Amino acid sequence: MVLGLTGPFSEARGRSMRQAAELAVAELNARGGVRGRRLDLRILDDSASEDVALRLAQQLRDDPAVVAVIGHLTSGPTLAAAPVYGGGDRPVVLISPSASSPALSGRSPHFFRVCPSDLAFGSRLAQYAMRTLGARRVALIFMNDDYGRGIRATFHAEFTRLGGQVVTEDPYLPSAGAPEPYLARLARAGGADALVLAMPRVAAELTLREMARLGLRWPVLGGDALSGIETLGPPAEGIRVATAYLPDRPGERNAAFVAAYGRTYDGARPDHRGAGAYDVVQLLARAITDVGADRRAIRDYLATVGGARPAFEGVTGRIAFDSAGDVPQKAVVVGVVRSGRLVTEASQ
C-alpha cells in the first residue's frame, strides 16, 4: 500500500516533513502495518516549483498503487497541482501539512489541509503586535508570492482595524540580496514599533543579519515560513513566529512524537511541517483501517472527519475538516526564539 509524499525535500524546509512522514510509516509498520499490509512512501521532490508539481501530480494520480498523497508543502505548487489530483478517471486525495494560501479553500473536493490558512496567521500576528507588544506603528517587508501577499493582506486588514498604522509595505526582491535600503529608509524615518517579515526563512535570515549590522533592534515578527530560524543564532534571539504547532505543545501524544523524532534524528526537533505530515500519515492510516484503500472511499471518509465522524486528535491538535477541506478550529500560537529554541510565548 503506497502513499505519495511530495515537497521540496532538497531544501531545509522540506526535511522535517519527510522525516516525520517516514517516522510515522515506520511506527505503523512496526505495529503490523495497516490492515495487515505494509505501508510505503513514494517520495518525489517538487523543488517548490509549480511546473514540477504539475508533472508529479499527474504521475502520482496515474499510479494505481498510490492510494493518497501527502503534499505539497508550499502554496504555489499546491495551487497549481490540486486540480490535477482531483481530475481524470481516478482522482486521488491530496492532504497538505502546511500550504496556507486562502485561495486553496475549496480548490478541489479532493484537497484537504491540516494547517490554518494565512487568514489566521496574519490576523494572529496583528493581534499579538497590538495587544502584547503594544505596537502602534508597524513596518512590513513581504515576499511577492502567494504566501507573502497573503500574510501582508491579512495582517494589514486586522492591524488597521485594531487602530494601528502600517507605515511601510515593501516587496522583498531576492535578486537584490538583503533589504538594506528599506531598513535604512525606515531608520531615517524614525523606525517602527515592530517589523513584520512575510517571507521565507532564508530571506528573513538575510534581513536579520542586516539589521544586526545596522544596529537596528525593532521587535520582529513573522509567519510559520520562519520556522527553523532559531538555528541562526544571536540575530534570531527574541523573534516571534506565528505557527500552528510548536514542539512544546502540551499532551502525551505530542510528547511521545517529539521524543521519538529526537531519538530517530539525532536530537532534532520537529517543526509544523513535520508535525503536520506525521498527523496526515496517521489520519490516512485511520481512514484505510476503517474503509479500505479505495481512493474514493478514503476521500469520502476524510470529508466527514469532524462531522459525521469524530475529529482526529493528532500531535498538532484537533483535526476537523469543513466543506472546503480546511480546519477552521485549528489555533495559531506565537512562539519566541529563546536560547536557540522556538518556544511558546508565555504571555499567551
CATH of the domain at 229: 3.40.50.2300
Clarify whether residues 131 and 100 are in a common domain: no
Residue 342 lies in a domain: no
Clarify whether residues 269 and 171 are in a common domain: no
**Full domain range(s) for residue 266:** 2-116+248-331
- Among the candidates 243, 261, 288, a domain finishes at 243
Residue 165 lies in a domain: yes
- Among the candidates 223, 243, 263, a domain finishes at 243
Residue 343 lies in a domain: no
Q: What is the pLDDT of residue 176?
A: 78
Q: What is the pLDDT of residue 187?
A: 96
Residue 337 lies in a domain: no
Clarify whether residues 195 and 234 are in a common domain: yes
SS (H, E, C) the chain: CEEEEEECCCCHHHHHHHHHHHHHHHHHHHCCCECCECCEEEEEECCCCHHHHHHHHHHHHCCCCEEEEECCCCHHHHHHHHHHHCCCCCCCCEEECCCCCHHHCCCCCCEEECCCCHHHHHHHHHHHHHHCCCCCEEEEEEECCHHHHHHHHHHHHHHHHCCCEEEEEEEECHHHCCCHHHHHHHHHCCCCCEEEEECCHHHHHHHHHHHHHHCCCCCEEECHHHCCHHHHCHHHCCCEEEECCCCCCCCHHHHHHHHHHHHHCCCCCCCHHHHHHHHHHHHHHHHHHHHCCCHHHHHHHHHCECCCECCEEECCEEECCCCCCCCCCCCCEEEEEECCEEEECCCC
User: How many domains in the chain?
Assistant: 2
Residue 348 lies in a domain: no
pTM over 0.75: yes
Q: What is the pLDDT of residue 345?
A: 86
Q: What is the pLDDT of residue 12?
A: 87
Regions of the chain where pLDDT drops below 70: 347-348
